[in-house]
A and B are shown apart, each in its own frame.
Chain A
Amino acid sequence: MANMAQAIRMALHYAEEKLGVTDIFGEDVGAPLGGVFTCTQGLKTTWNSPLDERGIIGAAMGIAMGGGRPVAEIQFCDYVYNTIDLLKLAGNTCWSSNGDWNLPMVVRTPVGSGIRGSIYHSHSFDATMTHIPGWKVVMPSTPLDAYGLLISACKEQNPVMFLEPKALLRVKGEERIPGEPDDDRALSKLIDAPLGDRSQWVPQWPQLEEYAVPIGKGKLVREGTQVTVVSYGRTLPLCARAAATLADEGLSVEVIDLRSLWPYDWEMIKSSVQKTGRVLFVNEDTEVTNFGEHLMRRTVEELFYSLLAAPRLVAGKFVPGIGLADTLEMASVPQQNDITTALRTLANEQP
């Protein structure tokens, strides 16, 4: 099965062939590297931008205004912070012009911990991005969802922030991308650039099919009856494994992959919480002013009388960065055991 980096690459190939994507660009996005995470190898509309994040976001806005359809990349989300006012502008352009202008543009950026990236390659961006109205914000946790969400993003009339959990970029999926070959090694031979000289290399793209994951729709990863866990990105597979572990203890955990952070699938959360009465939100952004806090607030306001226990949030520690040492990273962001313990505690909590 394809990994997420390959899935993104295939979605971009599909999008430039079928959906009118005109520019896939950013730092080291074009040949010879094809992206520091290999997500843009072998694509025909890629090009290398100056090392200038504000220029990248600005150019994407201009290309979208000019009638192009850009997919811009910020190499690590840690570097998108100096473009915040441009992101705000991209988000408010439709509104401030009273619907006159719209910006069909996608920004992709890797987020979160998991590669021992130290202080400047481990940041999360979900809380910041969901604070900027006018954007749609998505974050897949599987290669198939990455493929489907990116295809939806490339069909949007509005700016879409596509957050890539970098810890999952190399993880193979359990579901096949529509059109990818049965054999993983065959896929790699077709679309992974060779090491060394790539000047003569041309990818051989499989016959890919359109598969769009609608923006705003979550995924019920596992059904359960006693407690709900809502997550996305790197922490989602941890939640799924925690649910599997707890099933062995006789505890039934429902797992929701939010996939889209804005708009998000409140109906899915609501019906699950009404069923289980207990909910845990999990992500790895810092816990103060965290997107999960918004979800908790809404849960309390709208579902208070369905709750059997206080909603909980497991998130990253509110510290200025993630230290390089294994022990520091592990202590800073949620790990498997944190989630399992939190779910067990929540399930057993009695008023």
Chain B
Amino acid sequence: MSRPRLIKESSAPLPLDRELLVRIHDLMVKTRTLEERLIQMYKQGHGYFWIGGPGEEAFNVPLGLLMKKGQGPEYDYLHAHYRQSGTLLALGEEPIGALRQMKNTATDPYSGGRNFAGHFSLRKYNVAPVSSPIEVQYAIAPGTAMVQKRLGGDGITIVTGGDAGTAEGDFASCLVWSSRPANPLPILIIVTNNKWGISTSGDGQHGETRVSDRGKAFNIQSKTINGNDPVEAYQELKAAMEYVRKERKPFLLEAMVSRLYGHSSASGANYVADEVDCLKTFEARLEQEGVLTRQQMDDLRNRYTEEMAAAARTARDEPLPAPETIWKHIFAEDK
């Protein structure tokens, strides 16, 4: 198990290609400005509730970049939770989709104005619908992994959730179903540990030293990483995904992350200064290593901030779904 550490402690040169570093940074900034715009929309009354994952960009962006993107069991499935806009943007989604979901317009591509912000659903990229009840995705994910195991190939299932939710039985279900000796499953079980469950601190809830230690009881390979370092996150995710793709066995990855704006609008959605800001620390390192200048990064941030504001204005003027559409999609038509 690697020891979580801060990026600034590192003195080693950045081990990823410059192009990849710039791309990760770009998506992290894009995600952060999207989340900040979502919070602003909520505070301005252009949405009823905000929940999201600013602070988790350093982990979520690499995850999206590393996914085998496509539809059907040949490709990776993502059973996500509601803190993963970075993953969706890294998959190629445009931010206006999330803004439309916040504004619950008819154009919301993930739910047609029916679901909360951050509750993505994208069949074309195997992103299963995000649920508000936490951890249920851990009970569902083994199903897609079973289909993939039977199919062969290298598609895997990825399931993510928070540390507080590991108290739910569905997390145990996932460990049990993924590791049965007769049928181990190609599933990457991820827990992003931000040390909080709404307002309850992890210290009062977790008897285990590391959430990843729970994998040991099931003979599941596991690791805890620093999810605030996009370089470490990229490398560790890549290694874990390669293991799952090749061995067709589960892997439990715990990523230590920050919760920069609290849990949701229920807790105010204000910036929490004493958390590690993965974007700030990454930018310091990029500047130090000469990958990007401060000016370039500031310009990027300003450009995205303006783009998000413009996209939010577009979303605000779009119509809400018509009342009679409540009767649509209760059942699927024969396809």
Residue pair B131, A89 in contact (C-beta under 8 Å): yes
* Interface size of B in residues (CB-CB distance below 8 Å): 46
Residue pair B144, A134 in contact (C-beta under 8 Å): no
Residue pair A50, B169 in contact (C-beta under 8 Å): no
**B173: Cβ under 8 A from any A Cβ:** yes
Cβ–Cβ < 8 Å partners of B122 in chain A: 100
**B180: Cβ under 8 A from any A Cβ:** yes
A64-86, CB < 8 A from B: 64-68, 70, 85-86
Closest to A157 in B: B332
B135-156, CB < 8 A from A: 136, 138-148, 150
In the complex, A136→B331 CA distance in Å?
Answer: 9
Q: Which of B122, B141, B142, B329 has the most CB of A within 10 A?
A: B329
Indicate the size class of the contact surface on chain A: 35 or more
Cβ–Cβ < 8 Å partners of A86 in chain B: 136, 139-140
In the complex, A101→B114 CA distance in Å?
Answer: 14
**B112: Cβ under 8 A from any A Cβ:** yes
**A54: Cβ under 8 A from any B Cβ:** yes
In the complex, per-residue mask of A96-109: 1 if CB is within 8 Å of any chain B CB, else 0: 11111110000000
Residue pair A65, B121 in contact (C-beta under 8 Å): no
> Which of A23, A50, A95 touches B329 (beta carbons < 8 Å)?
A95
**B334: Cβ under 8 A from any A Cβ:** yes
Closest to A134 in B: B330
Residue pair B140, A65 in contact (C-beta under 8 Å): yes
In the complex, A58→B187 CA distance in Å?
Answer: 15
- Contact A98:B114 (CB < 8 A) given known A62-B143, A158-B332: yes
Return A23 CB to nearest CB of chain B, in Å.
Answer: 7
**B165: Cβ under 8 A from any A Cβ:** no
> Which of A22, A96, A158 touches B114 (beta carbons < 8 Å)?
A96
Return A347 CB to nearest CB of chain B, in Å.
Answer: 38
Q: A interface vs B, CB < 8 Å?
A: 22-23, 50, 52, 54-55, 57-68, 70, 85-86, 89, 93-102, 133-134, 136, 157-158
Given A61-B139, A64-B143, A158-B331, 10 more pairs with CB closer than 8 A: A50-B180, A55-B177, A58-B136, A60-B143, A62-B143, A62-B146, A97-B121, A101-B123, A134-B330, A134-B331
